[in-house]
């Protein structure tokens, strides 16, 4: 795929450059609680603006139903982008309507505009090729060149990700180029030992990637809500913990395959339990109890890995040459259940190997728990995209940039 450096060498002064970014930031009302994804696209936007391009930034936020919804407006993200750039960023109150047209037409060389949420138009996410194409045609009318830099959306066959780059000269931005380079390090000529730590709520979200990793990784460390389906598959009582009973046959097969392939599949040896889920708003003390992983009371819920598991996982990560981590070890949003996730993050910081934090909740946890982002080899902006790449899937947004 062509990169933004090639575009810059060709000259962009006076050209309208459409940047498909990922500004899908978490919001508390209109307050951004984590601006990591906005900061990730800064190098691309800055380079284009400084080269004299008229930069049109577009993104989705959340999952509106194909119509405007103030709760999902990109206005806060546009304001934050302006703060980080140290320059005015114009905001269009629609995606392809009169506001977008006049905002883009009014840009001078080196200026930046942000369009309203792409998903306010049903054509963005439509499964109907013609409806998607019609929306892409209208977006194409706002630009001369396309730069894909929204890695968190490249696994979606959406108009701005898949159809639009086919209508314009297209290039990969700095973020996508970096993300793809990192993922190649995790799939081609991997330095070993290669250790993967997987957490998060549902084992079903990770089945396909586990299937691939059983042929590639040396060790798999399992935590988070998904661990309880593994523990149940081993015949343990898991109480009222998160459990996907329909996935037990698949998990049982993976346990057998790991043993056959010589892959260490490591499960929690102790967990923190409580009879009720913690209050994440007030952060009121939860007073959890630590129990062995095979002794979870029938009326209790596992909410984090325990102290012995933290030590175990840290030891399994210590000698790693390559680490991929996706998914928290527990309910890290509450201080009483943050220690497991914190322990894994610290183990990544301490290892001498190449470490990748696989986006989503893991990336948010790193920042929420106060870690220096520079202490990790790479923090991905796209958890779902990273997982699908590791599964060996063709990602529509990358395929479109490669054409």
Q: Scanning the structure block, which residue is given the tokens 């080196």?
A: 110
Q: How confident is the model at residue 53 (pLDDT cuts 50, 70, 90)?
A: very high
119 marked ligand binding residue: yes
Q: What is the pLDDT of residue 11?
A: 97
The stretch 69-79 carries a mean pLDDT of 97
Confidence band of 384 (pLDDT split at 50, 70, 90): confident
Q: Would strands 89-91 and 112-114 be described as parallel, antiparallel, or unpaired?
A: parallel
**Residue 22 annotated as binding site:** yes
The answer on whether 360 is annotated among ligand-binding residues is: yes
State the number of CA atoms in the 13 A half-sphere of 272 facing the CB: 26
> For residue 381, what pLDDT is reported?
85
**Is 202 a residue of the active site?**
yes
Predicted local distance difference test score (pLDDT) of residue 171: 98
pLDDT score, position 372? 92
Tell whether 132 is in a known binding site: no
Does 340 qualify as catalytic in the annotation?
Answer: no
Residue 160 CA to residue 137 CA, distance in Å, equals: 10
pLDDT at 205 over 90: no
Indicate which residue of 15, 16, 20, 37 is catalytic: 37
Q: Which of 2, 166, 202, 234 is catalytic?
A: 202
Q: Among 152, 360, 382, 397, which one carries the catalytic annotation? A: 360
Please tell me whether 63 is known to bind a ligand: yes
Is 361 labeled as ligand-binding? yes
Helix-, strand-, coil-residue percentages of the chain, each rounded to 5:
45, 15, 40
- The 3-state secondary structure of 24-40 reads CCCEECCEECCCHHHHH
Across 199-207, average pLDDT? 89
When pLDDT is averaged across residues 64-92 and rounded to a whole number, the result is 97
Q: pLDDT tens digit string along 252-261?
A: 999 999 999 9
Query: Which uninterrupted H or E stretch holds 99?
Result: helix 98-105
Please, what are the domains in the chain? 4-177 (3.40.50.1260), 191-391 (3.40.50.1260)
Does the N-terminal peptide bond of residue 193 adopt cis geometry, omega within 30 degrees of 0?
A: yes
Tens digit of each residue's pLDDT (9 = 90 or more) over 352-361: 999 999 877 8
Mean pLDDT over residues 126-151, rounded?
A: 98
pLDDT over 90 percentage in the chain:
89
Parallel, antiparallel or unpaired: strands 27-28 and 31-32: antiparallel
Query: Could you tell me the pLDDT band of residue 17, with boundaries at 50, 70 and 90?
Result: very high
- pLDDT tens for each residue of 182-194: 999 999 889 999 9
Region of 256 (left: φ > 0; alpha: ψ -120 to 50; beta: rest) is: alpha
Q: Is 24 annotated as a binding residue?
A: yes
List 123, 150, 383, 384, catalytic entry: 384
- Is 369 annotated to bind a ligand? Reply is no
Helices 75-85 and 36-50 sit at what angle, rounded to 10 degrees?
60
Q: What's the burial of 399, exposed, middle or buried (CB within 10 Å: 0-12/13-18/19+)?
A: middle
62 is in an annotated binding site: yes
Q: Is 110 a catalytic residue?
A: no
Cβ-Cβ contacts under 8 Å for 41 (sequence gap 6 or more): 19, 21, 22, 23, 57, 149, 150, 173, 175
Residue with tokens 């396309």: 146
Is 189 annotated as contributing to ligand binding?
no
């Amino acid at each position: 795929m062509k990169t933004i450096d090639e575009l810059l060498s060709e000259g962009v002064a006076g050209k309208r450059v459409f940047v498909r970014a990922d500004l899908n930031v978490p919001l508390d009302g209109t307050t951004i609680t984590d601006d990591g994804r906005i900061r990730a696209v800064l190098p691309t936007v800055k380079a284009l603006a400084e080269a004299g391009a008229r930069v049109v930034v577009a993104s989705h936020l959340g999952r509106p139903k194909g119509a405007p919804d103030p709760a999902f407006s990109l206005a806060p993200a546009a304001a934050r982008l302006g703060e980080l750039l140290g320059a005015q960023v114009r905001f269009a109150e629609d995606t392809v309507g009169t506001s977008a047209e006049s905002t883009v037409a009014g840009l001078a060389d080196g200026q930046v505009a942000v369009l309203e949420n792409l998903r306010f138009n049903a054509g963005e996410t439509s499964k109907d090729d013609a409806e998607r194409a019609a929306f892409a045609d209208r977006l194409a009318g706002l630009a001369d060149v396309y730069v894909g830099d929204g890695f968190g959306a490249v696994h979606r066959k959406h108009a701005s990700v898949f159809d639009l780059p086919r209508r314009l000269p297209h290039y990969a931005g700095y973020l996508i180029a970096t993300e793809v380079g990192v993922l190649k390090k995790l799939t081609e000529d991997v330095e070993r030992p290669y250790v993967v730590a997987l957490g998060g709520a549902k084992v079903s979200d990770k089945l396909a990637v586990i299937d691939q990793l059983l042929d590639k990784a040396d060790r798999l460390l399992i935590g988070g809500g998904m661990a309880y389906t593994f523990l149940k598959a081993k015949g343990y009582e898991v109480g009222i913990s998160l459990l996907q009973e329909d996935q037990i046959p698949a998990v049982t097969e993976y346990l057998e395959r790991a043993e056959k392939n010589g892959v260490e599949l490591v499960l929690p040896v102790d967990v923190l339990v409580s009879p009720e889920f913690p209050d994440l708003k007030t952060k009121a003390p939860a007073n959890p109890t630590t129990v062995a992983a095979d002794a979870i009371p029938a009326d209790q819920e596992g909410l984090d890995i325990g102290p012995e598991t933290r030590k175990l996982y840290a030891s399994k990560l210590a000698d790693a040459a390559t680490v991929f981590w996706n998914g928290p070890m527990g309910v890290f949003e509450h201080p009483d259940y943050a220690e497991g996730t914190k322990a894994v993050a610290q183990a990544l910081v301490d290892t001498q190997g190449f470490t990748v934090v696989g986006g989503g909740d893991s990336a948010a946890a790193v920042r929420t728990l106060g870690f220096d982002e520079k202490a990790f080899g790479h923090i991905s902006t796209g958890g779902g995209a990273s997982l699908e790449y590791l599964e060996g899937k063709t990602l529509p947004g990358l395929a479109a940039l490669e054409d």
